[in-house]
Amino acid sequence: MKKYGRTFHLPISPGNSSDDKVMSSLDGLTVEDLIVTEKMDGENTTIHAHGSYARSPDSRYHPSRDWLKAFAAGISHQLSEGERIIGENLYARHSVVYDALPSYFLGFAWIIGDEVQAWDTTLARFEELGIQQVPTIYRGRYRPGLFEDLARKLDLNRQEGFVARIADAFPESEMPNRIGKYVRAGHVQSNIHWMKSELVPNDLAEN
């Protein structure tokens, strides 16, 4: 089991704290095919051939993970050794309230061995497994001012931020250069961690 790497903040991200990492350069994102997805306010979760775990493989039990473990049980047997699906467990409400989620698990990465797979093949794998993806808010060429423009379009009452990555595959070791996040200022709205608060589920979209 391997922990998913840390996503560094984009230089313009106002939501970084003292223990967060910030990208030193945007050079690794200045590509012709850039993917920008909504950053969902959930718990980073990995699904693998033998089950699932939240961010750290030694994470303790929490009732918000029961739904995810059941969901993962229907997928894990289809995964090979060394294959990981990374996404957000959105069952529990954190700071953002979701009232129309397509699923309590939204995927954003597919990793085989030590390589983050290309975006298009990732989406194809998600479709095979019945996994919903995080919303895509932009796809296209990088240009100066792009991230500032996308930040201005965010609904800060309903969106935590966004994540930018190259569409091509890249080694996990290149994550600090090939993927970056923008997080709204003052994202955490409570002094009490969500795991220590009353469990309030988010809502799914009506079929």
Residue 205 lies in a domain: no
pLDDT tens sequence across 143-191: 999 999 999 999 988 999 999 999 999 999 999 999 999 999 875 555 5
Residue 195 lies in a domain: no
pLDDT tens sequence across 57-71: 556 667 788 999 999
Query: Is the pLDDT confidence value at 88 over 90?
Result: yes
Residue 88 lies in a domain: yes
Between CA 120 and CA 128, with CA 123 as vertex, the angle to 5 degrees is 130
Residue 109 lies in a domain: yes
Pick the closest to residue 44 from 106, 97, 102 (CA basis): 106
Residue 180 lies in a domain: yes
- Domain containing residue 172: 8-186
Residue 193 lies in a domain: no
State the CATH number of the domain containing residue 145: 3.30.470.30
Distance CA 98, CA 101 (A): 6
More confident residue, 54 or 142: 142
Pick the closest to residue 178 from 26, 66, 36, 60 (CA basis): 26
**Number of domains making up the chain:** 1
Question: Can you give the pLDDT at residue 198?
Answer: 76
Q: In the structure, what pLDDT confidence band is assigned to residue 28 with cuts at 50, 70 and 90?
A: very high
Distance CA 9, CA 205 (A): 30
More confident residue, 54 or 59: 54
Residue 19 lies in a domain: yes
Question: Can you give the pLDDT at residue 3?
Answer: 83
